[in-house]
Structure 1
């Protein structure tokens, strides 16, 4: 009962909840609209995350507004060009250009910036190719993994999952995320009749989202910052909020390209 009676464990719940409501409203509207609307939201979020990556590594750099504008233009051009099959080269503009001008952590910036852009493109492609409900499943798994992990970690606590990288993440929260993801898979199967293969896939997707969170935690420890930025009350920056979604998107890109997904139309 200590977890329930210790107010410090829940001090960030109010700001997190309020910010989450706003982000969910915007995200849901974009996902439902699809097409260029979802793509533009993804472009903006992707560009801001690369901007946050830059400022984490080198706070004293180019004027932030100019940098963000340049990143939006780069990501947008890459997203649009990928519809013609060659936009990946343009994704190298932000990743390679930033790496070339930074004074430290150049390979770190290049790897994360490229991964962010590819993950953003993966979400846009998933929405376009497979439709609203499959993207809703992907996002649902990520959200439930995060929510279940948050509450289980604070209510149950216990051994840390990877204390050297992410001191707050516990095994109880991690496993609760897998269980929540399995429930999302079962719910999705009940409505879409996908088959029970969706359950282990949901759990694997949950793990991938957690690895996205772990990767960003490792990045922040490496560059010595607590949050990617202070844009979102209770959440830090967009990178802090969407790191799990990036991991999930990259995982689903790998699955669909190499293995295919049963029941998802080509």
Structure 2
């Protein structure tokens, strides 16, 4: 095993631990701290996105507008908030000179994901927000570790050359462990295990989608805000996919799973 394959592990773990602690504290307190986390993270990710897609576009302005839209969306009833999820997209389209469709899709998803996380924490509490975060983290950690240890065939080498099938499946196994643990802790039915796997899959799709954006923009990281990880978009791409997935499927499956009459 080449040492160079692991030379970023210490820095990655250290920065990841700090980010995890800040996130865990905000999830624990809920309310304003968690709402602030979703707003700041969403705004920063839009800023990173704009800088990748069109360096000449007003990234700070569009990030600020997206964050402001999410603030109001989290205050208003959901039905009234929905237009605010889309509004910054139209403003951004008028400001970018290239890659407008990519901006529109991902900006809408970022704001929607922020709103989805806020709703999950507000409606279902600390435990289920923690469950979602742990599934995403387990998928990422298991995929990173076992992908490097086992290697083997690549999942999609043209878009994400470091991701292997071994790491992808290991991420699903990590989700099974988290799902089983939360079932034991909360007493919910076994349905939470396949739901956890689906959440992990959605997180991996978010990860690959962000890799596709970076590939198209010709950059390695979304920014350099987080040493060893790149930017917030690099760190929270999986949570982006998982949050949107939960927002769309929660009304269908009856959440927590097994409670639909």
Question: TM-score by structure 1 length?
Answer: 0.93
Q: Is 1:46 the counterpart of 2:76 in the alignment?
A: no
Question: 3-state DSSP class of the match of 1:85?
Answer: helix
- How well do the aligned residues superpose, as a CA RMSD in angstroms? 1.7
Match of 1:24 in 2: 20
Match of 1:156 in 2: 150
The question of whether the paired residues in 2 share the 8 Å contact of 1:181 and 1:202 is answered with yes
The question of whether the paired residues in 2 share the 8 Å contact of 1:56 and 1:228 is answered with yes
Distance 1:264 1:7, change over 3 A: farther
String of CA shifts for 1:130-158, please: whole Å, max 9, x gaps: 11101111111000000000100111100
2:71 paired residue among 57, 71, 76: 76
1:125 paired residue among 119, 128, 146: 119
Q: How does 1:76-95 map to 2 (within 5 A)?
A: 76-81=71-76, 83=77, 85-95=79-89
Question: 3-state DSSP class of the match of 1:234?
Answer: coil
| 1:67 shift after superposition | 4.7
| 1:60 shift after superposition | 2.6
The question of whether the paired residues in 2 share the 8 Å contact of 1:78 and 1:87 is answered with yes
Match of 1:172 in 2: 166
String of CA shifts for 1:96-125, please: whole Å, max 9, x gaps: 111121001111101100011111100000
Question: 3-state DSSP class of the match of 1:232?
Answer: coil
The question of whether the paired residues in 2 share the 8 Å contact of 1:52 and 1:229 is answered with yes
Q: Distance in 2 between matches of 1:116 and 1:72?
A: 10
Q: Distance in 1 between matches of 2:112 and 2:78?
A: 15
Distance 1:264 1:8, change over 3 A: farther
Question: 3-state DSSP class of the match of 1:251?
Answer: helix
The question of whether the paired residues in 2 share the 8 Å contact of 1:126 and 1:135 is answered with yes
How many pairs align?
260
Q: Is 1:213 the counterpart of 2:207 in the alignment?
A: yes
Q: Distance in 2 between matches of 1:84 and 1:243?
A: 23
String of CA shifts for 1:199-244, please: whole Å, max 9, x gaps: 1111111111100101101111112111111111011100000000
Match of 2:31 in 1: 35
Q: Distance in 2 between matches of 1:203 and 1:122?
A: 19
Match of 2:4 in 1: 8
| 1:168 shift after superposition | 0.4
Query: For structure 1, which runs of at least 5 residues remain unmatched after alignment?
Result: none
The question of whether the paired residues in 1 share the 8 Å contact of 2:85 and 2:108 is answered with yes
Match of 1:61 in 2: 57
Question: 3-state DSSP class of the match of 2:163?
Answer: strand
Question: TM-score by structure 2 length?
Answer: 0.94
Q: Distance in 2 between matches of 1:66 and 1:182?
A: 41
